[in-house]
Structure 1
Amino acid sequence: MASRRHGTPPGSPPGGHAGHQRLQRRLGVFDSTAIGLGSMLGAGVFVVFSPAAALAGPLLTLAVAVAGLIAYCNAVASAQLAAKYPASGGTYVYGRRQLGEWPGFIAGWGFVTGKTASCAAMALTFGHYAAPAYATPLAIGAVVVLTGVNLLGITRTALLTRILLAVVLATLVFVAAASLLGPHPDGAPGAAGELAALTAPATSGGWGVLPAAGLMFFAFAGYARIATLGEEVKDPARTIPRAILAALAGAFVIYLTLAVLLQWHLPPQQLAGSTAPLLDAVEHSRLSAGAPFVQAGAAAACLGALLALIAGVGRTTLAMAREGDLPTPLARVGGAHTVPLVAELAVAAVVIILLLTRDVLTVVGFSSFGVLIYYAVTNAAAFTLPARPWHAPRWLNALGFLGCLVLAVTLPPASMLVMAGVLAVGVAVRFLVLRRRRT
């Protein structure tokens, strides 16, 4: 294994680079769980049910269950590895230590590129919910402010995440209550619902369950943020597994409940064609006056997911820079609160460039493909672990690995081609850099 090759203890920074300053362990189980759950209950929960329903039709709940099963396999694998290697970087580190440098690089590169695009999408979605006419300036402002919060230290990140998570949970409870109370007395949906009902595509089903599960899986992937923050967690062997599984369990119950309620409350065509299904559910109910509250909750969800995303991408960038797979200045840890200063600023700069140059909402579909490849490496790395708890048998790792690959290849072809191209560019550049170093 690479860990023996480097001769470093599990708790040391990746690659055994003793000259790199360590981050400080400040997060307990509660804060770690909040960060993971806040990442999963991001903007996706307010939009993902419609495209998933269009693909899966009446089998939407089955798609949620399939996505949850694969996410559970990945969560168990992540928990095993994070307890053994409690350093920043997540699967990038695990892949290097257990499988070798190239699998680790592919996982890390897919995560950094895919999630950076997701950061831009989350920021822009926030802008559209808050004030559509000023979406881009608001998105840039959100990136700047939240990066500033992250630079104040991981405890500030956890505090703001808890606040935003409370707002999002209150919003989802309100949506559930509106759905249970039934349609509006006059039977007329809101404006968004009328438009969706007129333009909705026919719902599918059957084989559409797998691509729908691939889309739903994207909404489950936030627990990776707990693993990428492994160097800042207290008692990681105990805290990380508990936080990952608790966050995933909470998200699964919420998603399954919402899927059942939305299918019960909204006509199939309207659910499949809506651009804001949770907002439609409220506008179509006896609590339609609460629609602005749902919009505010969606904005808070975007901010919470963006906050955790920037922190997670920054830590993976830090780990890759420590190993020389990204420019080494990105490995600098500094500031009064011991944070990956240069990496976080670099991530924020790239996100702002994306926001200024194009509409990232049209190009972030490949992120799901990158995340599934990331977790395929996670499962492969966990499969090689000799010591394992009773609840993490090897067949579960094998199921997670195969499940990730199946969901990845059933995604829309454009998503696969774009992410495959991004991965190929990263591999080619790394190959040329390594060859130049040798010569």
Structure 2
Amino acid sequence: MNRPSPTAGTPDELRRRLGTADAVVIGLGSMIGAGIFAALAPAARAAGSGLLPALALAGLVAYCNATSSARLAARYPTSGGTYVYGRERLGDFWGYLAGWAFVTGKTASCAAMALTAGAYVWPGRAHAVAVAAVVALTAVNYAGVRKSAWFTRAVVAVVLAVLAAVAVATLASEPADAARSAVGDDATFGGVLRAAGLLFFAFAGYARIATLGEEVRDPQRTIPRAIPLALGITLAVYAVVAVAVLAVLGTDGLAAATAPLSDAVRAAGADGLTPAVRAGAAVAALGSLLALILGVSRTVLAMSRDRHLPHALAAVHPRFKVPHRAELAVGAVVAALAATTDVRGTIGFSSFGVLVYYAIANASAQTLGPDEGRPPRPIPWTGLAGCLALAFALPAASVLWGAAVLTAGAAAYGTRHALATRPRP
């Protein structure tokens, strides 16, 4: 059953403040973040010499997902992203499952980004720095989405400058002996799939644009433009950085690196750049964390409006026009995780949840009619198949934990639905 979005002038309406440039910057801030500083090494271990094909495969799946999401977001310009699309096109359960996968997976990602920032800023006090970062960025989001967009713009500028410096320094250097010799045929199809699934973690930020559907001006025009633009810029940046790092470290050196970009500039003889790379990684993690909290809180808002989560979280602040209770709740959960857990292994768990989320988005896009902006049919089908293939190619522990959490969410939905429809005595 279709549900209208909040009507103009109601207290629950979010304010449309973001233009195309703002939406692109928010997408870039979500994608060009800590993932590029951390994901290359585990992907190289999984793919061997197939790292670049894995990056291309992750980019292809991300493009299909972005196209499907953009068409759906233009059709349903409300907060919630695939939670709304799945609900409207496939039914309540699939919308709920998409929202549950997004909220759980991205909440874990928030904690991972906070701890990444802590590890770079003050390794001995990573948990304390992580909690402080969550509190500070939750306050930024609480003050209004426009302020968040300006903060994200500054973060993107810093990170792009650092990545450009890394690329120039490494590409201008002589390749190391290890790099010259690392051209073996050690890649396997399963390894490339697994690496693509891990690299997908760094591409998934374009969902943030779609989840801000109620805060974008002219969403039917802005969102379909902003999502492909943000994705294209991100893929180009990642490809240049991956080629540059491989040029000096080689596959084996990259796979063994604990801080790939720092190791790359040292191998290139540009040791003076190492502090800037560390600072860039911290800033990137904070930018990703800001955008993640922003996106998760909007999905919580949408699910709370439909009472899949506590309805009190659907409140919108009368002055700042943001879902303040949802933001505070998300911030509190992320801060607790950042204070008590080591979430470095949550990249796989997060990737599993997000890939399921986009599988539902592609299935939803396939149901659009020609008059509703349906994408060319091969795109959602390729996206659906690609998401499922990458999800189940992830490490076994990630698949098992992800499936368990989704099953628990589905069971909660079934129980609630059964109680709601039970005949009253």
Scaled to the shorter chain, the TM-score interval is over 0.9
Match of 1:263 in 2: 246
Report the residue type matching 2:352 in the other structure: F
Pairwise CA distance, 1:386: 0.2
Flag as ranges the 4+ runs of structure 1 deviating above 2 A: 16-20, 362-365, 387-392
Letter in 1 for 2:255: A
- What is the aligned partner in structure 1 of residue 68 from structure 2? 77
Q: Residue 267 of structure 1 aligns to a residue in which SS?
A: helix
Distance 2:231 2:374 in 1: 16
Match of 1:253 in 2: 236
1:24 aligns to 2:15 (yes or no): yes
2:92 is aligned with 1:101: yes
CA deviation profile, 1:368-409 (whole Å, cap 9, x unmatched)? 000000000000000000026889211211111111111111
Percent of residue pairs identical? 53
Q: How far apart in 1 are the matches of 2:320 and 2:132? A: 22
TM-score when scaled to structure 1? 0.91
- Range that drifts further, 55-64 or 337-346: 55-64
Report Cα offsets for 1:7-54 as digits up to 9, x if no partner. x3xxx24xx999761101000000000000110011111011111111
Matched, 1:88 2:71: no
- Answer yes or no: is the 8 Å Cα contact 2:109–2:346 preserved in 1: no
Q: Partner of 1:337 in structure 2?
A: 320
Count of aligned positions: 418
Which among 179, 188, 196 is matched to residue 206 of structure 1?
Answer: 188
For the aligned residues, what is the CA RMSD?
2.2
Match of 1:384 in 2: 367
AA aligned opposite 1:371: V
Cα distance in 2 between the residues matched to 1:236 and 1:140: 34
Match of 1:166 among 157, 162, 166: 157
Preserved contact between residue 366 and residue 377 of structure 2 (Cα < 8 Å): yes
Q: Give the whole-Å Cα distance in 2 for the aligned partners of 1:147 and 1:438.
A: 38
Match of 1:119 among 91, 103, 110: 110
Contact 1:56–1:203, Cα closer than 8 Å, also in 2: no
Q: Contact (CA 8 Å) 2:135, 2:331: kept in 1 or not?
A: yes
Aligned match of 2:47: 56
CA distance in 2, matches of 1:401, 1:391: 15
What residue in structure 2 maps to residue 314 of structure 1?
297
State the alpha-carbon separation in 1 of the partners of residues 37 and 255 from structure 2.
Answer: 13
* Partner Cα separation in structure 2 for residue 203 and residue 348 of structure 1: 45
Which residue of structure 1 lines up, in the alignment, with residue 124 of structure 2?
Answer: 133
Equivalent position of 2:391 in the other structure? 408
Per the TM alignment, residue 353 of structure 1 is displaced from its structure 2 partner at its CA by 1.2
Cross-structure match for 1:199: none
Q: Which runs of 5+ in 1 are unaligned?
A: 194-201
Matched residue SS, 1:360: coil
Aligned-partner residue type, residue 306 of structure 2: E
> Structure 1 residues 143 and 262, CA, compared in 2 at 3 Å: closer, same or farther?
same
Offset, 1:324? 1.0
The amino acid of 2:259's aligned partner reads A
How far apart are 1:183 and its partner, in Å? 4.8
CA distance, structure 1, for counterparts of residue 23 and residue 62 of structure 2: 18
Letter in 1 for 2:414: F
Q: Residue 88 of structure 1: SS of its match in structure 2?
A: coil
2:345 is equivalent to residue 354 of structure 1:
no
* Distance (Å, rounded) in 2 between the aligned partners of 1:345 and 1:203: 50
CA drift at 1:203: 8.9
TM-score (norm 2): 0.94
Mean Cα deviation higher: 331-340 or 91-100? 331-340
